[in-house]
Chains A and B, each alone.
Chain A
């Protein structure tokens, strides 16, 4: 079964740091670009970050650029998002998402598999 399972969400103080993780199973991880999409409580979806299948290329939304780093370990089928200088507006459920195609790059296909999400709360 194709599955994405996030972990690591927590309550963090403003200005703090946190790394969230996503464990992938049931598919050839390296063949797929991967993404983080977040959803603040009661609000819509926001595209946060992307990484190519081999990990060479990354993208960050302006709202998080310079504060987050996306990475992957293809030997362990893991996706990560390191977050620093966290702000209250970063409070959200963070979803790990797979790209539909097997080219290992973004820009052409849908987000076909979503994890259940992990909650990050930034508050004092």
Chain B
């Protein structure tokens, strides 16, 4: 059982906009930044969004993040076949120093 809650799956057609939600509590998302990681099939995770809504260099601006209260969302616009991957949200948790928490992951399928 993951601390952060994500839908197990999402899907969309090429060109469409899809969103993936991530729900937490006051001790994690409510008071800390949210991060999103993309894991392509057979690969290691890669940082996609940091600081709630900032993109590392090289990440297309089709990817955007937002946060409100104890929930966050990842939006992917102009969906492409290469976006098919698992997406994980994460945050630091103030309940214990040094504790980070992940969502269970959302498998995105491009139809």
Interface residues of A (CB under 8 A from B): 35, 37, 44-47, 50, 57-59, 61, 95, 100, 106-117
Contact = CB atoms under 8 A, between A and B. Distances in A.
Given A44-B88, A45-B105, A50-B98, A114 B56 contact: no
Contacts of A44: 2, 86, 88, 102-105
**Max count, chain B CB within 10 A of own CB: residue among A44, A50, A113:** A44
Contacts of A57: 98
Contacts of A107: 92, 97-98
Interface in B71-111: 86, 88, 90, 92, 96-105
Given A44-B88, A59-B97, A106-B92, A112 B102 contact: no
25 contacts: A44-B2, A44-B86, A44-B88, A44-B104, A45-B45, A45-B88, A45-B105, A46-B102, A47-B101, A47-B102, A59-B98, A59-B99, A95-B44, A100-B47, A106-B100, A107-B97, A109-B33, A110-B90, A111-B37, A111-B100, A114-B44, A114-B45, A114-B46, A115-B44, A117-B44
Contacts of B98: 50, 57-59, 106-107
A112 B96 CA distance: 22
> On chain B, which size bracket covers the interface?
20 to 34
A110 B50 contact: yes
Nearest to A35: B100
A55 to B, nearest CB: 14
B35 interface: yes
B45 A47 contact: no
Nearest to A44: B105
